[in-house]
């Protein structure tokens, strides 16, 4: 009874606040128009033909041998990449949390975890081709191997594993830190060896988290477009097949049906990951450890594990360093001396690099604050407010995380090229800067929202209630009380949105028009032509921009963030 009265009172307060009601209406409209509507149009396109509702489009698509092969290829790659990424990520996380390592090794781990964030998604594919391809620096010129090929299944698996295992490492590191050391020490006191403790205590506690890491990587792998496009060769995946179906075969309905198949797979995996494994992980590992963990100092254990992880980390760093080095060679694969900066010059003089960087920078700079603000508003509504549409806003804003970029791109083409429901309404945004900005916002929204929700759950509601009691409305409370308390998350979301936008390719490659030149599209184009040196020059400048943005954000938070003020007050 008391709960229902409290809910009724919350609803009355909400309805009496026009700013809050207006915000909710605008959010619901935005999420419906730019996330649900494109996906719904894909579904309609795939089941609606000239004679009404039909499954003929699906039958025609499933009859294509290349599409059936692409499904099998995608699932094989996703499964193996998920397993390898979780295993390598667990090794790195275990060594950092349980083994006493030097500062240098810890620094290597931090660099490895940062590199995939600040680099374009296909950098490792470029490096793999330049180092291990037929004209590769290692295979051809050092080992004199001429009949090898890095293209295909194993090329994709290796590149995606190196790209995605840092994600698993960061997830599993946090979980391992939350395991209470007393549980493991109790097993050790009963005579169990280290391996027995790991298999009977640590691993069972970690299994839900491992499953979560596997599924996150599996979803990332099957949704990946850039790496299979560059290093896949004739090994087609669903993302590349959808792209070729719409750009090569001009079969928009067929591409829509293919996109629905890929979306179904990712949504199923996302549902399991989000609503089962995440909840199970949280239930298994709750709270902080009761005391500090005694690190393993036995040299027979520390030396081989440290060496193994250091070699793996150094290899990943070498792969990333290959990109700026590759931009200095006159002709990759044929002439390696003398080193030259001519490609960096040609980026701006011959290949319209200034326009590409300006367009990408401006569009990303516009989308980043919009994304960060929307994320914080959604987080605030989800955590601090009670109303019927709250579940809808949270679910749809998170849905974009499970939608592959290629699928979203096809949905926007089918949904907006002729206007809403082919009425011409909003047709003007198609092919404009607006649709690219909207895609950037939609793709980055889930990451910022999750960060905002975590930050807001740590703020006592009595702080905001005091402001309400003094007569402030919801907008005033949000801007003067809530947002300053979570400004670290806001700034982090701002830079993350900028980095994700400026390095995006899978969704925008289908939507970008000749009016705009984007860096990632240029890199992809030159890599496909085999112009690796100029592709590396573009990629190097892009990495410098994104890494600089992250460094500036960290410096700003260090000197002006909430955490600094709290430390000073203490």
The reply to whether CATH 1.10.3720.10 applies to domain 13-54+339-570 is yes
Residues of the chain with CATH 1.10.3720.10: 13-54+339-570, 77-236+299-325
Q: What is the pLDDT along the chain (570 residues), one digit of tens a residue?
A: 555 655 565 666 666 677 778 888 999 999 999 999 999 999 988 888 777 788 888 899 999 999 999 999 999 999 999 999 999 999 988 888 888 877 777 778 878 877 887 788 888 898 998 888 887 888 877 887 877 778 999 999 999 999 999 888 888 888 888 787 877 778 777 877 778 877 888 888 888 888 888 988 999 999 999 899 999 988 999 999 999 998 888 888 889 999 999 999 998 888 887 777 666 665 555 555 556 677 777 788 788 888 888 888 888 888 888 888 888 877 766 666 677 888 888 888 888 888 999 999 999 999 999 999 899 889 888 887 777 888 899 889 888 888 998 999 999 998 998 889 888 888 889 989 999 999 999 999 988 888 888 777 777 777 777 777 777 777 777 777 777 777 777 888 888 889 889 998 888 998 998 889 899 999 988 888 888 889 999 999 998 888 888 788 778 777 765 555 444 444
* Widest distance between CA atoms in the chain: 81
Token pair 């619901």 is at which residue?
28
Residues 57 and 278 sit within 8 Å (Cβ to Cβ): no
Report in angstroms the alpha-carbon separations of 443 from 39, 107, 257, 501: 14, 30, 22, 8
Q: Measured between alpha carbons, how far is 446 from 96 in angstroms, rounded to an integer?
A: 28
Query: 219: part of which helix (H) or strand (E)?
Result: helix 203-223
Q: What CATH architecture applies to the domain 77-236+299-325?
A: Orthogonal Bundle (1.10)
The phi-psi region of residue 518 (left if phi > 0; otherwise alpha if psi is between -120 and 50; otherwise beta) is beta
Residue 53's DSSP bridge partners are 48
Give the rounded distance of the alpha carbon of 498 from its chain centre.
12
Q: Measured between alpha carbons, how far is 430 from 132 in angstroms, rounded to an integer?
A: 41
Q: Measured between alpha carbons, how far is 260 from 284 in angstroms, rounded to an integer?
A: 35
The radius of gyration of the chain's CA atoms, rounded to the nearest angstrom, is 25
Q: Mention every residue, 6+ apart, whose C-beta is less than 8 A from residue 507.
A: 405, 406, 408, 409, 412, 439, 443
pLDDT, position 566: 44
Residue 245's DSSP bridge partners are none
Nearest to residue 550, comparing CAs of 85, 224, 111, 107?
A: 111
Nearest to residue 506, comparing CAs of 387, 382, 411?
A: 411
Q: Measured between alpha carbons, how far is 470 from 162 in angstroms, rounded to an integer?
A: 54
To 10 degrees, the CA torsion angle through 553, 555, 561, 565?
A: 170
Q: Measured between alpha carbons, how far is 516 from 565 in angstroms, rounded to an integer?
A: 42
pTM (predicted TM-score): 0.86
Token pair 């895609």 is at which residue?
439
Q: Measured between alpha carbons, how far is 493 from 517 in angstroms, rounded to an integer?
A: 25
Residues 195 and 165 sit within 8 Å (Cβ to Cβ): no
User: And the tokens for 178?
Assistant: 């939350």
User: And the tokens for 290?
Assistant: 């009761």
DSSP code string of 361-411: HHHHHHHHHHHHHHHHHHHHHHHH---TTHHHHHHHHHHGGGS-HHHHHHH
pLDDT, position 564: 52
Residues 58 and 134 sit within 8 Å (Cβ to Cβ): no
Nearest to residue 177, comparing CAs of 306, 292, 85?
A: 292
User: And the tokens for 469?
Assistant: 């009691």
């Amino acid at each position: 009874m008391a709960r229902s009265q409290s809910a009724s009172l919350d609803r009355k307060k909400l309805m009496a606040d026009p700013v809050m009601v207006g915000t909710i209406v605008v959010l619901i409209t935005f999420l419906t128009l730019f996330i649900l509507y494109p996906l719904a149009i894909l579904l309609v396109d795939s089941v609606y033909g000239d004679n009404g509702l039909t499954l003929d489009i699906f039958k025609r698509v499933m009859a294509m041998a290349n599409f059936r092969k692409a499904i099998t290829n995608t699932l094989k790659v996703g499964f193996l990449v998920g397993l390898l990424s979780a295993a390598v990520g667990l090794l790195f996380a275990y060594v950092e949390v349980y083994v006493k390592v030097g500062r240098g090794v810890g620094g290597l781990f931090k660099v490895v975890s940062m590199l995939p964030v600040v680099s374009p998604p296909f950098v490792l594919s470029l490096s793999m081709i330049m180092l291990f391809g037929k004209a590769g620096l290692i295979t051809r010129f050092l080992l004199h191997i001429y009949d090898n090929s890095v293209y295909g299944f194993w090329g994709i698996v290796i590149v995606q594993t190196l790209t995605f295992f840092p994600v698993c490492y960061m997830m599993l590191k946090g979980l391992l830190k939350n395991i209470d050391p007393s549980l493991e020490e109790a097993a050790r006191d009963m005579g169990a060896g280290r391996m027995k403790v790991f298999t009977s205590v640590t691993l069972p506690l970690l299994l839900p988290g491992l499953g979560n890491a596997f599924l996150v990587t599996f979803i990332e792998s099957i949704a990946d477009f850039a790496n299979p496009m560059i290093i896949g060769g004739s090994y087609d995946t669903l993302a590349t097949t959808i792209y070729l179906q719409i750009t090569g075969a001009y079969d928009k309905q067929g591409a829509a049906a293919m996109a629905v198949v890929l979306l179904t797979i990712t949504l199923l995996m996302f549902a399991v990951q989000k609503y089962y494994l995440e909840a199970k992980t949280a239930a298994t590992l709750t709270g902080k450890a009761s005391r500090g963990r005694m690190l393993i100092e036995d040299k027979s254990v520390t030396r081989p594990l440290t060496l193994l992880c250091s070699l793996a980390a150094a290899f990943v760093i070498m792969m990333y360093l290959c990109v700026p080095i590759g931009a200095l060679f006159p002709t990759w694969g044929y002439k390696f001396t003398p080193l030259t900066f001519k490609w960096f010059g040609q980026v701006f003089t011959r290949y319209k690099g200034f326009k590409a960087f300006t367009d990408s920078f401006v569009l990303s700079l516009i989308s980043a604050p919009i994304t960060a603000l929307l994320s914080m508003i959604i987080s605030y509504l989800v955590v601090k407010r009670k109303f019927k549409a709250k579940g809808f806003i949270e679910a749809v804003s998170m849905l974009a995380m499970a939608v592959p970029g290629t699928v979203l791109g096809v949905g926007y083409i089918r949904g907006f090229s002729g206007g809403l429901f082919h009425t011409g309404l909003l047709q003007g945004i198609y092919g404009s800067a607006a649709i690219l900005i909207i895609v950037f916002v939609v793709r980055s929204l889930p990451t910022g929202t999750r960060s905002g929700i975590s930050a807001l759950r740590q703020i006592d509601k009595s702080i905001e209630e005091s402001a309400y009691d003094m007569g402030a409305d919801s907008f005033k409370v949000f801007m003067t009380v809530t947002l300053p308390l979570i400004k670290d998350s806001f700034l982090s979301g701002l830079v993350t949105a900028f980095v994700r936008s400026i390095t995006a390719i899978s969704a925008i490659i289908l939507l970008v028009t000749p009016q705009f030149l984007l860096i990632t599209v240029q890199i992809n184009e030159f890599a496909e032509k085999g112009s690796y040196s100029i592709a590396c020059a573009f990629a190097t400048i892009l990495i410098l921009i994104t890494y600089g943005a992250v460094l500036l954000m960290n410096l700003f938070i260090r000197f002006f963030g909430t955490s600094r003020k709290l430390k000073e007050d203490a």
